[in-house]
């Protein structure tokens, strides 16, 4: 998702990944070191205390789209490949190596020998095939990703096949070449011996996979291959993860990792409460925003014992404003579906005020929606933005016939009915609260009445996907390749929440093309081609066309692209802030304990 402004929305809190852990004698250890990032050998020992924005609904990653579950899963599970955090190149993880056929359709992964699950059972190719066949490509898995493994060939959908050639070899055969298939193999691998009863292979219904590992489960049942294992859960209070002593990574000196003995996640909803816990010394690290930067920086300079870290953001989540094309109110749905209306309202979104006042300048104009620093794909579409101009907004609304005929200062959407709707936002996020308030005030100046509805920031994406909103502020992350955000930005995709009428009637079926506008159909085609086009220049040109279509038709109004800002206490060594979004898809922050 992997999904928000830093530290506030679904998928936006920093993920603490303790890069490399212990190897057992029979394992093939992987040496991990990042001297180019200033990482120095550390000393094992000690706990690390972090914040969770909400209680996890369950401990099964694929059973719920949930930020808390995602943050915890980052620590407990591994994928076949991962990013080198210094270069962003793909490097081996659970797969020690791989081969790709000359025609680009057959990928063979060779698993690392000696890797074990937290309960001591060996990782095998059967676990990998089970994870892909029974979970990831299961259209009923709430956080699965079946669409990534469906190719349209000669107009027909075709599926990737998965085979275990022996205990440590997995073959995946594609219906057509894919330029980004290897990038997609950062899915968490799950234990077949624990999850078989919840699967179709084990005799269950497809949707039963979502019932795995509720929070009442015994911690010993939740096993991964990752650096930490679940050891305790106190409902509504904390989640404790203990060091996996048999992990398969070591540092440059051969020291088993992670250095941290225990991760404790305190369940602390809301920006203010998390800030208070950090300043009291109860949290070791906290993602902050530009709003908080001046206060935290002044405390740092006054000797508070922590540092404030800034870095530019390739990943991270720019917030956007979305109108519900399929709103329950048919009059609003018809209005919101008009690009002319969305473009009119874009004039009333003061991006520079958000950048200056909300982020204290630690943000920039966003892409639509590719990150500006992503030179490979970014198209500068700011020339197509309707920048803040209330007079232009008013004129555009007048041209649509949305006039105040009752004299109460609010335009009428129909005779006798005010142009009024509800804007949903994350009330526990200072960033979302400030953005929502700015939008409400500016919309009022052009005769549009906005009623604010605050919910927990962790519930925003779920609310959007359920269609239970009229307008909403959500943030979804950037990625190095647009293909990795296909479920969000391709019409009909699982996370294309603002126009739910484009979704297939039944999971796994083709999208509803009849509901798509012409520009949406073109975007759909761009993403379909992007999945199989091997010419990098053609792919880049197509995705640049997609960005211009987004800017022209404003399916959502992109607001700002924040940078990375974090505060970390001095007793935590080697802190590097590299924010990811969807676990298994992005680089993540990591700690070496001094």
pLDDT at residue 11, as a whole number: 24
> 367-394, pLDDT tens digit by residue?
999 988 888 899 999 999 999 999 999 9
> Which pLDDT score is estimated for 579?
40
* Number of C-beta neighbours around residue 281 at 10 A: 12
Domain boundaries defined on the chain: 30-269+564-593, 319-562
* Res 430: pLDDT: 87
Q: What is the pLDDT of residues 37-55, one digit of tens each?
A: 677 777 777 888 999 989 9
Average pLDDT of the residues in 127-140: 97
Q: How far apart are CA 127 and CA 168, in angstroms?
A: 10
Confidence category of residue 9, pLDDT binned at 50, 70, 90: very low
pLDDT in tens, 306-359: 999 887 777 778 999 999 999 999 999 999 999 999 999 999 999 999 999 999
Q: Is the pLDDT of residue 126 over 80?
A: yes
> What digits encode the pLDDT tens for the residues 451-496?
999 999 989 999 999 999 999 999 987 888 898 888 899 999 989 9
Residue 170 pLDDT: 98
> What pLDDT digit, counting tens, does each position of 184-213 carry?
888 999 999 999 999 999 999 999 999 999
Predicted confidence band of residue 593 (pLDDT cuts 50, 70, 90): very low
Most confident stretch, 241-255, 264-278, 575-589: 264-278
In terms of pLDDT, which residue wins out, 168 or 45?
168
- CB distance 61 to 583 below 8 Å: yes
pLDDT at residue 6 is higher than 80: no
For residue 7, name the pLDDT band (cuts at 50, 70, 90): very low
pLDDT of residue 328: 97
Per-residue pLDDT, 10: 23
What would the two tokens of residue 473 be? Answer: 């502020």
- Average confidence (pLDDT) over 393-408: 96
pLDDT beyond 50 at 22: no
In CATH, 319-562 is 3.10.105.10: yes
> Is residue 213 exposed (0-12), middle (13-18) or buried (19+ Cβ within 10 Å)?
buried
Query: Which residues face 319 on adjacent strands?
Result: 475
* Contact by Cβ (8 Å): 66, 57: yes
Residue 147: exposure state from Cβ atoms within 10 A (0-12, 13-18, ≥19): buried
Reply yes or no on domain 30-269+564-593 having CATH 3.40.190.10. yes
**pTM of the full predicted structure?**
0.72
- CA geometry: angle at 207 spanning 206 and 208, to 5°? 90
Q: What is the mean pLDDT of residues 22-33?
A: 55
Whether the predicted pLDDT of 591 surpasses 70: no
Report the C-alpha gap between 29 and 114 in whole angstroms: 9
pLDDT class of 577 with cuts at 50, 70, 90: low
- The band of 401, judged by pLDDT with boundaries at 50, 70 and 90, is very high
């Amino acid at each position: 998702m992997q999904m928000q402004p830093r530290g506030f929305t679904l998928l936006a809190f920093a993920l603490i990944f303790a890069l490399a852990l212990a190897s057992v004698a029979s394992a093939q250890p992987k040496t991990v070191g990042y001297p180019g990032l200033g990482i120095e050998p550390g000393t094992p020992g000690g706990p690390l205390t972090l914040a969770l924005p909400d209680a996890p609904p369950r401990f099964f990653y694929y059973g719920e789209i949930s930020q808390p579950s995602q943050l915890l899963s980052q620590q407990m599970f591994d994928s076949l490949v991962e990013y080198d955090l210094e270069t962003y190149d793909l490097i081996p993880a659970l797969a020690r190596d791989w081969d790709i056929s000359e025609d680009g359709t057959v990928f063979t992964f060779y698993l690392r020998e000696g890797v074990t699950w937290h309960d001591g059972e060996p990782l095998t190719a059967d676990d990998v095939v089970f994870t892909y066949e029974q979970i990831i490509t299961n259209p009923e898995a709430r956080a699965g990703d079946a669409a990534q493994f469906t190719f349209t060939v000669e107009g027909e959908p075709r599926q990737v096949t998965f085979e275990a050639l022996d205990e440590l070899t997995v073959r995946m055969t594609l219906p057509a070449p894919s330029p980004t298939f290897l990038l997609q193999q950062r899915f968490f691998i799950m234990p077949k011996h624990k999850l078989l009863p919840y699967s179709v292979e084990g005799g269950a219904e497809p949707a039963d996979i979502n019932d795995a590992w509720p929070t009442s489960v015994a911690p010993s049942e939740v096993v991964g291959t990752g650096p930490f294992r679940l050891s305790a859960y106190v409902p509504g209070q904390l989640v404790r993860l203990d060091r996996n002593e048999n992990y398969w990574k070591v540092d440059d000196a051969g020291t088993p990792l992670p250095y941290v003995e225990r991760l404790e996640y305190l369940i602390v909803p809301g920006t203010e409460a998390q800030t208070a816990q950090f300043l009291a010394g109860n949290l070791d690290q906290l993602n902050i925003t530009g709003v908080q930067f001046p206060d935290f920086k002044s405390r740092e300079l006054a000797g508070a014992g922590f540092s404030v870290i800034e870095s530019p953001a390739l990943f991270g989540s720019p917030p956007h404003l979305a109108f519900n094309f399929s709103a329950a109110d048919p009059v609003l749905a018809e209005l919101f579906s008009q690009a002319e209306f969305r473009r009119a309202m874009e004039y009333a979104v003061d991006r520079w005020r958000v950048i200056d006042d909300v982020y204290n300048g630690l943000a920039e104009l966003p892409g639509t929606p590719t990150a500006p620093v992503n030179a490979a794909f970014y198209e500068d579409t700011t020339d197509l933005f309707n920048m803040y101009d209330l007079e232009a907004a008013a004129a555009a609304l007048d041209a649509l016939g949305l006039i105040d005929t009752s004299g109460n200062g609010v335009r009428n959407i129909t005779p006798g009915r005010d142009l009024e709707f509800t804007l949903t936002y994350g009330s526990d996020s200072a960033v979302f609260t400030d953005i929502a308030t700015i939008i409400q005030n500016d919309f009022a100046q052009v005769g549009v009445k906005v009623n604010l509805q605050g919910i927990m920031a962790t519930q925003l994406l779920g609310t959007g996907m359920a269609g239970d909103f009229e307008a909403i502020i959500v943030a979804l992350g950037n990625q190095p390749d647009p293909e990795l955000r296909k479920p969000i930005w391709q019409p009909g995709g699982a996370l294309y929440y603002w126009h739910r009428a484009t979704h297939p009637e039944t999971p796994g079926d083709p999208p509803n093309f009849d509901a798509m506008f012409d520009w949406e159909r073109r975007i759909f085609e761009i993403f379909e081609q992007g999945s199989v086009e091997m010419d990098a220049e053609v792919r880049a040109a197509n995705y640049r066309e997609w960005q211009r279509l987004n800017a022209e038709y404003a399916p959502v109004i992109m607001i700002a692209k924040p940078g990375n800002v974090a505060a970390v206490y001095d007793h935590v060594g080697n802190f590097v802030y590299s924010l990811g979004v969807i676990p298994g898809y992005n680089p993540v922050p990591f700690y070496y304990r001094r």
